[in-house]
Structure 1
Amino acid sequence: MKTIKYLVIIFAVFSWVSCNKNLTEKYSIKILKTESGYYYDVYKKGKLFIHQPNIPAAIGNQEFKDSLQCLRIAELVVQKMEKKNFPTITIEELKKNNIEFKN
């Protein structure tokens, strides 16, 4: 009898987890290199969601100088989306993350 109770509890937990799977979004980041710099794409559940060919908030079409700078901002964008915030980037956030750009 105890075995059946445990199986029912385990089944209930797995059912609850599978029903609530959509509560967390699955995002992935792809860093890409161009002739003059780097840019990022953000994928949501495997589909292209954001294509960011230049540094957000920076004037003009400036590209990231290296892949690490690019990744820092892409990760910040994903963190905002995971918190259900609009994924805008400000000049202050670029400076705080030591992103090289022309102001």
Structure 2
Amino acid sequence: MKSIQKTSAILILITLILIGMLYLWEKEGRHPESTIVTNIIKVNNGYGYQILNGDSLLIEQKYIPAAVGIRHFVSRKDAQLVAELVKYKLLKGKSPAISAQELNDLNITILMPQ
């Protein structure tokens, strides 16, 4: 009987702690997914992106990462696709580095110099 009471008390305590944590999390309005945001920026003859955590700038990418030479994104859409991939990697605790294969998988347009 004491074992059941002890188990019930532990479960109630854990439940109360979780409810308290959720309350504080909601009250602060800080969800990990929403604190990291992307911002598309206009640069010279194209686009780039920024990754922000709240008010802190984490990454400012004015050129296409992993592209040979200095190449800007040709469209907002391309910049947004790569920025969202970087955001996803950061949220998963992975390196935000982008590979040429990932650019290819996302069908990112890379214009060659004239």
Provide the TM-score with structure 2 as the length reference: 0.71
- For 1:71 and 1:24, how far apart are their aligned partners in 2? 19
Determine which structure has more spread, i.e. the larger CA radius of gyration. 2
Deviates more, 1:8-17 or 1:53-62: 8-17
Does structure 1 residue 16 correspond to structure 2 residue 21? yes
- For 2:47 and 2:38, how far apart are their aligned partners in 1? 13
Q: Which of 47, 60, 69 is the matching residue for 2:69?
A: 60
Residues matched between the structures, number: 95
Alignment of structure 1 residues 1-103 onto 2, 5 Å: 12-17=17-22, 18=24, 24=32, 26-102=35-111
SS of equivalent residue, structure 1 residue 87: coil
Give the fraction of aligned pairs with identical amino acids, expressed as a percent.
29
Provide the TM-score with structure 1 as the length reference: 0.78
C-alpha contact (below 8 Å) 2:86/2:98 kept by paired residues: yes
C-alpha contact (below 8 Å) 1:28/1:46 kept by paired residues: no
Query: 1:61 deviation in Å?
Result: 1.1
Unaligned runs of 5+ in 2: 1-12
Query: Which 4+ residue blocks in structure 1 deviate beyond 3 angstroms?
Result: 8-14
SS of equivalent residue, structure 1 residue 64: coil
More helix by share: 2
CA RMSD of aligned residues (A): 2.7
Unaligned runs of 5+ in 1: 1-7
